[in-house]
Amino acid sequence: MADFSFPLLTATAAVPAIGAVATAAVPAAKRTAAKWLALLFSLATFVLAVVIAVRFRPGAEGPYQLTESHAWIQDFGVRYELGVDGIAVALIALTALLIPFVILAGWHDADPLESASDSGSAAGSNSRWRPTQGFFALILAVEAMVILSFEATDVFLFYIFFEAMLIPMYFLIGGFGDRAGAHGEEQAATQRSYAAVKFLLYNLAGGLIMLAAVIGLYAVTADQLGSGTFSLQQIVEARTSGKLDFGTGTERLLFLGFFFAFAVKAPLWPLHTWLPNAMGESTSPVAVLITAVVDKVGTFAMLRFCLQLFPEASSWATPVILVLALISVIYGALLAVGQRDIKRLIAYASISHFGFIILGIFAMTTQGQSGATLYMVNHGISTAALMLVAGFLITRRGSRLIADYGGVQKVAPVLAGTFLIGGLATLSLPGLAPFISEFLVLVGTFSRYPVIGIIASVGIVLAALYVLVLYQRTMTGPVKAKVEGMPDLRARELVVVAPLIALLLFLGVYPKPLTDIVNPAVDHTLSVVDKKDPKPAVRVDAVPGAGRPGHAVHDQEVEAAK
């Protein structure tokens, strides 16, 4: 390149990666230093993410911006290609935003057990056992990989990080759990390793099938374009210009290969059962990491890779996927109602929400896909708020069972209040951010598939049911014995929750900054897929006297822009 520009995207991923190494290298005795170091690096990443968002120009020429491109494995046409569209910017911002809160919320989650340090206090000081450093280093490592997978525009590069993030996640789930389980440490450890292995196997299985499809993609491009390539932009261009033609059968197979991996990660019914285990057994910050950050890579990749690489196959598979997504919505919500464990309840609620996201993506309307993207962001924030407060609650009482709580509202009103707001966000109350995304998804789905839209609306009622039942059983009623004397939220915990709630309110009232970034990217995706929004049955403009001045101005502006 003639003019050297700062590799912003690489830097945003490199900072947490360096942070991970640095945190891991902190000596065993200096636990607190490691925590602060990790927090510092995550904050630096957030600053860089903000810079990305500021430098990003919505509606500028070309689908991707801030691109970087270097040759990597030339023999196989693999390039180190990064670039962001509006959807990626939104999700990078979400990731970079949530990680500091995750670190802060998990401040004490990885401290060595007191009993352990008692038994070997002498050995403890010079032991090389450093769980705290490991915990925070792993979180930063996950952040780096997630950010890279949002940035990668090379299919192979994406695949590498998509898979590699399983490794730190595996250790985070298997290595760190809630302190006192109801059944004692031994059994908790067994369940934890079961959950971790299940997580790994599910995702590896998906990943391997995707690998086969990645190789297949290379084979087809090598065959038809002369030299094989993994570059998303090149493949899309070649396909639109007619140079590349997968052939119906091949395209469908490749699509299924990609989709399977993303559906496991997302998770879509019936590939969802790893999520409740993983979220139930891990500490709540890690559960947030799973559902609010890592899972988003799956739905994001559906938008970026499945739809753009294989538009025809996507249309072909749409009916089945929509039905599966609809089942996820209802099924997840019904199972959430039936749960006895707070964290598993939130996990099943997430499954229901991921159903909405996938519904929005495959409805193939502007509203559906913008809604789905907003949903990813809003679900991240709202689940983080709810899950982290639930984590604070669980730490206080040492139990995940709903039946062990009652009357918390009386002893810890702030905790109960924040929990309620998180819950209300989860049930998509208007005024809070998730409402906007859920409504957009429903409208987008409804305008093309009315029946599916109507059935999905039932999910709204079920969401209210599981949230309010949870709130009623844990927070209201007479104070249970072991709940008495429970301290309210501490300063550190308030610092975690308050900004999240403020953000939920802000994005619920004024989501325009987000929609402005996301809309052009969605339009691009839909133009690649070659779908247009259904037109309304009645053209309101044709009605005399209709339309307010505001709308008229808006229309004129649009026309002027054209």
Partner 1 sequence: MENLIALLVAAPLVGAALLLCGGKRLDRTGAWIGSLFAVASFAVAAVLFADMLGKSAEDRAVHQHLFSWIPVGGFQADVGFQLDQLSMTFVLLITGVGSLIHIYSIGYMEHDERRRRFFGYLNLFLAAMLLLVLADNYLLLYVGWEGVGLASYLLIGFWQHKPSAATAAKKAFLVNRVGDVGLSIAIMLMFTTFGTFAFGPVLAATGDTSEGKLTAIGLMLLLAACGKSAQVPLQSWLGDAMEGPTPVSALIHAATMVTAGVYLITRSGAIFNAAPDAQTAVVAVGAVTLLFGAIVGCAKDDIKKALAGSTMSQIGYMILAAGLGPIGYAFAIMHLVTHGFFKAGLFLGAGSVMHGMNDEVDMRHYGGLRKYMPVTFVTFGLGYLAIIGFPGLSGFFSKDKIIEAAFAKGGTEGWILGGAALLGAAITAFYMTRVMLMTFFGEKRWAETPGAAAPGQQVQHPHESPKVMTIPMIVLAVGSVFAGALFSVNEAFVTWLEPVTSFAHGHSPLSATAITASTIVVLLIGVGLAWQMYGRKPVPAVAPRGSLLTRAARRDLLQDDFNHIVLVRGGEHLTRTLVYLDHSVVDGAVNGTAASMGGLSGRLRQLQSGFVRSYAVQMLGGAAVLVAATLLMRGV
Query: Taking the complex as a whole, how short is the minimal distance between the CB of residue 26 and partner 1, in angstroms?
Result: 38
Binding partner 1 by CB under 8 A: which of 299, 378, 399, 409?
A: 409
Find the binding residues for partner 1 in span 333-362 (CB under 8 A): 334-335, 337-339
Backbone phi and psi for residue 66, each to the nearest 5 degrees, phi listed first: 55, 35
Binding partner 1 by CB under 8 A: which of 187, 190, 248, 273?
A: 273
302, 510, 504: which is closest to 422 by C-alpha? Answer: 504
Asked whether position 500 contacts partner 1 by CB under 8 A, the answer is no
Relative orientation angle of helices 131-151 and 31-55, to the nearest 10 degrees: 10
- Partnered with residue 231 across adjacent β-strands are 154
Percent helix, strand and coil across the chain, each to the nearest 5: 75, 5, 20
Asked whether position 407 contacts partner 1 by CB under 8 A, the answer is yes
* Strand 78-84 to 65-73 pairing: antiparallel
325, 234, 210, 314: which is closest to 271 by C-alpha? Answer: 325
Residue type, 303: L
Query: Taking the complex as a whole, how short is the minimal distance between the CB of residue 541 and partner 1, in angstroms?
Result: 9
Binding partner 1 by CB under 8 A: which of 176, 331, 362, 419?
A: 331
Asked whether position 323 contacts partner 1 by CB under 8 A, the answer is no
> In this complex, which beta carbon is closest to partner 1, that of residue 12 or of residue 515?
515
Cβ atoms of residues 510 and 437 within 8 Å? no
Find the binding residues for partner 1 in span 435-464 (CB under 8 A): 435-436, 439-440, 442-443, 446-447, 450, 453-454, 457-458, 460-461, 464
> In this complex, which beta carbon is closest to partner 1, that of residue 132 or of residue 437?
437
Find the binding residues for partner 1 in span 512-551 (CB under 8 A): 512, 515-516, 519, 523, 533-540, 542-543, 545-548, 550-551
Binding partner 1 by CB under 8 A: which of 59, 120, 247, 270?
A: 270
Query: Taking the complex as a whole, how short is the minimal distance between the CB of residue 431 and partner 1, in angstroms?
Result: 6
Asked whether position 293 contacts partner 1 by CB under 8 A, the answer is no
Relative orientation angle of helices 366-397 and 86-105, to the nearest 10 degrees: 0
Cβ atoms of residues 387 and 267 within 8 Å? no
> In this complex, which beta carbon is closest to partner 1, that of residue 21 or of residue 320?
320
Find the binding residues for partner 1 in span 187-206 (CB under 8 A): 198, 201-202
The three-point CA angle 309-268-371 to 5° equals: 65
Number of residues that bind partner 1 (CB under 8 A): 76
> In this complex, which beta carbon is closest to partner 1, that of residue 258 or of residue 449?
449
Asked whether position 506 contacts partner 1 by CB under 8 A, the answer is no
> In this complex, which beta carbon is closest to partner 1, that of residue 43 or of residue 420?
420
Relative orientation angle of helices 366-397 and 413-426, to the nearest 10 degrees: 150
Residue type, 365: T
Tokens standing for residue 387: 């899950």
Asked whether position 122 contacts partner 1 by CB under 8 A, the answer is no
Q: What is the DSSP string of 156-174?
A: HHHHHHHHHTHHHHHHHHH
Asked whether position 70 contacts partner 1 by CB under 8 A, the answer is no
